[in-house]
């Protein structure tokens, strides 16, 4: 897909970038000319396949394993990405899990993976963006941030918190040429979204289909390309929020 955006000379990191929405965003950024680091925590072969696809098309990419909810691993990730691709200009905080509300451990893991990871990564890369007077941070929220959702209250809380994180950083970084926005997908045709499709959620979506990962990638490129949009959450949900 041609987005008509030139990101040549920019480097990006997509957490959870090896599959689903993350994969689509990784490929979209690479298609715009950015060098892209593909973060993953498991399923290495999928991450390497994305990297190979980008390289075979003449782009630059690297795969980096790290649990981005752990500070020490984020520090190691940051060092490797800078060594492989140079300073990070674009950070997409996409890593996430969807666990049902089971117990305290599930709650803590959900908040750590979906929210704490974005804070850790932003703290790692924002200073460099500020110093260079240019940066883009995109946080992957969800329709569940502002609605009841179908997964659990921990998931709702993590995504609502992510939107608060977005607005807080946006206000503080705008004067340094850094924008911070969020994308809030509705039900999307991914491995994580499969249970929603099986439960018949499509019947509730005004546009009559699940979202495609490319829909979310297109919205991500939109906010990366815009230098006057910050602190916003872009809904990509086929009109589901209208109901």
Tell me which residues are annotated as active site: 155
Taking residue 2's Cβ as centre, other Cβ atoms within 10 Å add up to 6
**Cβ distance 233 to 180 under 8 Å?**
no
User: CA-CA distance, 101 to 96, in Å (whole number)?
Assistant: 15
User: CA-CA distance, 95 to 201, in Å (whole number)?
Assistant: 23
In the block, residue with structure tokens 């390289």: 55
Q: Which of 191, 67, 181 is nearest to 135 (CA)?
A: 181
In the block, residue with structure tokens 């089971």: 102
């Amino acid at each position: 897909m041609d987005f008509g955006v030139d990101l040549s000379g920019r480097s990006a990191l997509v957490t959870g970038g090896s599959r689903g929405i993350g994969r689509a965003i990784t490929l979209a950024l690479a298609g715009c000319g950015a060098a892209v680091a593909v973060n993953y925590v498991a399923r290495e072969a999928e991450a390497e396949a994305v990297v190979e696809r980008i390289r075979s098309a003449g782009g630059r990419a690297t795969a980096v394993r790290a649990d981005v909810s752990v500070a020490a691993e984020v520090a190691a990730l940051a060092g490797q990405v800078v060594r492989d691709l140079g300073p990070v200009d674009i950070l997409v905080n996409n890593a996430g899990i969807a666990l049902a509300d089971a117990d305290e451990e599930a709650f803590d893991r959900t908040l750590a993976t979906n929210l704490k990871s974005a804070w850790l990564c932003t703290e790692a890369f924002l200073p460099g963006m500020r110093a260079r007077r240019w940066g883009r941070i995109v946080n992957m929220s969800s329709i569940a941030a502002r609605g009841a959702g179908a997964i659990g209250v921990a998931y709702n809380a993590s995504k609502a918190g992510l939107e608060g994180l977005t607005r807080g950083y946006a206000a503080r970084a705008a004067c340094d040429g850094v924008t911070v926005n969020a994308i809030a997908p509705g039900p999307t045709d991914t491995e994580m979204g499969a249970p929603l499709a099986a439960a018949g959620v499509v019947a509730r979506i005004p546009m009559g289909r699940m979202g495609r990962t490319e829909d979310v990638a297109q919205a991500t490129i939109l906010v990366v390309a815009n230098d006057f949009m910050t602190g916003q959450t872009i809904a990509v949900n086929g009109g589901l929020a209208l109901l």
